[in-house]
Amino acid sequence: MTRGASKLDSAGTGSRTHAPLHLVCAAAESDRISDLGGYVFGEIHFGARASALAAPSAGAIEVHVPVTQLGGSAITEYWLSPSPVEHGRLGEIRYGVNEQVLFAYTAFEFSRSGAVLEQRTRRQYEAMLGFLRSQGYPYLLRVWNYLPHIAQPLQGMDCYRRFCRARYQAFEAFFDDLVPQLPATSVLGTRGGELQTLFLAAKSRPTHYENPRQVSAYRYPREYGPRSPLFARATLARWGARDTLFVSGTASIVGHESRHIGDAAAQTAEILRNLDALTAEVSQTTRIPLQGLDRAPCLRVYLRNPRDLSPIRGRIEARMAPDAQIVYLQADICRPELLVEMEALIDLEPSN
């Protein structure tokens, strides 16, 4: 374990975020890593590394997700801390921690055997949950899963449904009551390689939210698989001076049904309505004025078909702040009829 080995120039970082975790999306031609500020938990590259940026920070977790960036400049995500980060490895889990947050990554080689995929997925999640408990960061905030061949059948059931069943079994083995433990989550499909899982966890309990326009995923009917997907629509981490809302992967689903089959622009508009409803739910509870994505500094947009970029981009960018960074990625989505999915991190500043 190396303490503070991933330090960048930290001047001003604490005063900017007042939170133990901060996300910066850096475009290669306009940003330099030395200007970002803070200590690095990890950096996430989608496809090729942003070539103008420096080599990986010493000790930082470096993840390459095998998806293609669309729409111009390559963007890298940097997860930063205002205080020193300790990095380490336990088995297949690589991690970084500060006094409040744990950032970690694990992966295993994808198998075309359905039974093996489920066995490895369950083992991976059980190792993750046990690790968090042993390290004293028992509360999951956010999980990202990148699952090769997500919609392809393996011995009569598609990969996503097998993944969901194995994940359910792992959670069921650890918790008597699953719902309070479910974090914001995304599961996206890649064309090959490893099943990659990134996760954020905290020492203090967050608040999880559901969307009034959607059936909670953990209550989906059995037509979507033998075990329900396990995630909350959003998770709020309360830091004090500035809080963070992690929004799960959100698609054109109302109730539990997919809407606007074959129309990417209409699906995008439905997603924005879902995000408006979700943030209104959070706003009512926290009394922080929110309107959709108005406080989202970074947004990931996953598209099934690159040809849909133009109509999707126009609708999204009309709603975002001018300085928001948007990462457009080609990826497969859990249901074959869904063409686009969006996720966000939203900064909240509590009222006095």
Lowest mean pLDDT among 29-33, 62-66, 297-301: 29-33
Asked whether residue 135 carries a pLDDT value surpassing 90, the answer given is yes
Report CA dihedral (150, 183, 118, 126) to the nearest 10 degrees.
150
Find the DSSP H helices in 260-320.
Answer: 264-286, 309-317
| Domains of the chain (ranges, CATH numbers) | 2-348 (3.30.1330.40)
At residue 28, the pLDDT reads: 53
Concatenated DSSP letters for 229-250? ---BSEEEE--SSSEEEEEEEE
- Element at 94 (helix H, strand E): strand 93-97
Asked whether residue 14 carries a pLDDT value surpassing 50, the answer given is no
Q: Which residue has the higher pLDDT, 12 or 301?
A: 301
Mean pLDDT confidence for 243-249: 96
Asked whether residue 3 carries a pLDDT value surpassing 60, the answer given is no
At residue 232, the pLDDT reads: 98
CB 339 within 8 A of CB 308: yes
At residue 13, the pLDDT reads: 39
Residues 6+ apart with CB under 8 A from 289: 283
Neighbours of 291 (CB within 10 A): 12
Asked whether residue 36 carries a pLDDT value surpassing 80, the answer given is no
What are 15-27's pLDDT values in tens digits? 344 689 989 888 6
Concatenated DSSP letters for 215-230? --GGG--GGG-SS---
Q: 173 by DSSP, 3-state: which? A: helix
What are 258-285's pLDDT values in tens digits? 999 999 999 999 999 999 999 999 999 9
Beta bridge partners of 87: 2, 96
Q: 74 by DSSP, 3-state: which? A: coil
What are 154-176's pLDDT values in tens digits? 999 999 999 999 999 999 999 99
CB 126 within 8 A of CB 93: no
User: Which pairing describes strands 184-190 and 139-148: parallel, antiparallel, or unpaired?
Assistant: parallel
Lowest mean pLDDT among 167-171, 196-200, 321-325: 321-325
CB 281 within 8 A of CB 275: no
Asked whether residue 297 carries a pLDDT value surpassing 80, the answer given is yes
Give the confidence band of 73 by pLDDT, cuts at 50, 70, 90.
confident
What are 74-85's pLDDT values in tens digits? 888 999 999 999
Mean pLDDT confidence for 239-247: 88
The one-character DSSP state at 214 is: B
Half-sphere exposure of 309 (CA within 13 A, CB side): 14
Mean pLDDT confidence for 114-128: 97
Nearest to 171 by CA among 251, 163, 245, 255: 163
Q: What percent of the chain shows pLDDT beyond 90?
A: 74
Mean pLDDT confidence for 325-348: 95
Nearest to 235 by CA among 225, 243, 227: 243
Residue 36 vs residues 7, 24, 33, 320: alpha-carbon distances, Å:
11, 7, 5, 22
Asked whether residue 66 carries a pLDDT value surpassing 90, the answer given is yes
At residue 264, the pLDDT reads: 97
